[in-house]
Chain A
Amino acid sequence: MRWFLIDRFEEFISGQRATAVKAVAMTEPSVDDYSVTYPRFPSSLIVEGIAQAGGILVSQINDFKNRVVLAKINHSAFHFFATPGDRLVIDVEILNLQEFGAVVSGMARVDGRIQSEVELVFAYLGNEFEGVQLFEPGGFCRVLRCLKLFDVGVNPDGTPIHVPQHMLDAERFDLEKYDQYFASQAAS
């Protein structure tokens, strides 16, 4: 399975900024096994969580049709370790949007204290990657629903963002596929 390193969005303003949360738990192997006798959430995974929140923020601008990848970490600073029980509040903001990508700032806080600060560069995969699909759209849509993106997401004018039609179509296709599978299982 893919690692999802944010638990849900709490705020999401299309094309501008978002706030996500990540609860650090002892049950996560990455916390328990990373450093024996001193469980902590690896800083690299915090960057990945910030990148996931930022990547979704950038990708949503074009209804998730652009293939957005993390291309560069400009700066990163970590001020203390995140440990089990901590609730990381991740803020991401688009600093600059260009035809070929975006620059995003990210910050994670625990109880109001700044735990980490990063600046990330995202790129859109170009035509040379034609046909390369980063996510299966139906599954990705379900992940976004789980992250509460469509519950809290709004446009800059305050109107809610909606699930893009191509994702709804992909979800419907998946459901029909499952229905056919279960029907064939029941018949056999």
Chain B
Amino acid sequence: MSTKDEVFEKVKEALIDALGVDDDEVTPEATMVGDLGAESIDFLDIVFKLEKGFNIQIPRDELFPDDILTNAEYVQNGRVTDSGIALLKQRMPFADLSKFEKNPVVQDFGNLLTVQDLCNYIAAKVGAV
């Protein structure tokens, strides 16, 4: 069984490899898009590296809830509704949505995911302690 530190180190390695970022840029607080410069295509590569590194399957909708963010039932006037937020929390228990919740503009969602969120997701998948 991996420890959370081991998960972080492996995630860091995957991000350095996929994004060409420096070792010291990959901090738990760094956002994938804003701080590390990840583009949509990079996530395909990152998912591959994480699946390979941890021997797990990562269904896309677990990390990227596009189906919620494009559903008129959960998005009104470019903002995620209360029921949408509730569903996001249920779908993404690993992510800290507290900031987003205060001003849930859909277009800001892409810059929400941090390295720590990713580590939390993986840790839950592999049962890290």
Q: Does A100 contact B (CB under 8 A)?
A: yes
Q: For this complex, into which size category does the number of interface residues on chain B fall?
A: 10 to 19
Determine whether the beta carbon of A71 is less than 8 Å from that of B41: yes
**What is the bound-complex CA distance between A98 and B47, given in angstroms?**
9
Helix, strand, loop or mixed for chain A's interface? strand
Chain A residues 84-101 with CB under 8 Å of chain B are 95-96, 98-101
Shortest beta-carbon distance from B26 to chain A in Å: 17
Contact with B along A130-156 (1 / 0, CB 8 A): 000000000000000000000000000
Shortest beta-carbon distance from A66 to chain B in Å: 14
- Number of contacts between A and B (CB, 8 Å)? 31
Helix, strand, loop or mixed for chain B's interface? helix
Determine whether the beta carbon of A103 is less than 8 Å from that of B45: yes
Determine whether the beta carbon of A100 is less than 8 Å from that of B48: no
Determine whether the beta carbon of A121 is less than 8 Å from that of B45: yes
Determine whether the beta carbon of A74 is less than 8 Å from that of B41: no
Contact with A along B49-73 (1 / 0, CB 8 A): 0011000000010000000000000
Q: Does A123 contact B (CB under 8 A)?
A: yes
Determine whether the beta carbon of A100 is less than 8 Å from that of B44: yes
Across the interface, which residues of B come within 8 angstroms of A113, CB to CB?
none
Across the interface, which residues of B come within 8 angstroms of A96, CB to CB?
47-48, 51-52
Q: Does B13 contact A (CB under 8 A)?
A: no
Q: Which residue of A lies closest to B51 (CB)?
A: A96
Shortest beta-carbon distance from B39 to chain A in Å: 9
Which of A72, A95, A98, A99 contacts B42, CB < 8 Å? Answer: A72
Determine whether the beta carbon of B48 is less than 8 Å from that of A99: no
Which residues on A are within 8 Å of B, measured CB to CB?
A: 71-72, 74, 95-96, 98-101, 103, 121, 123
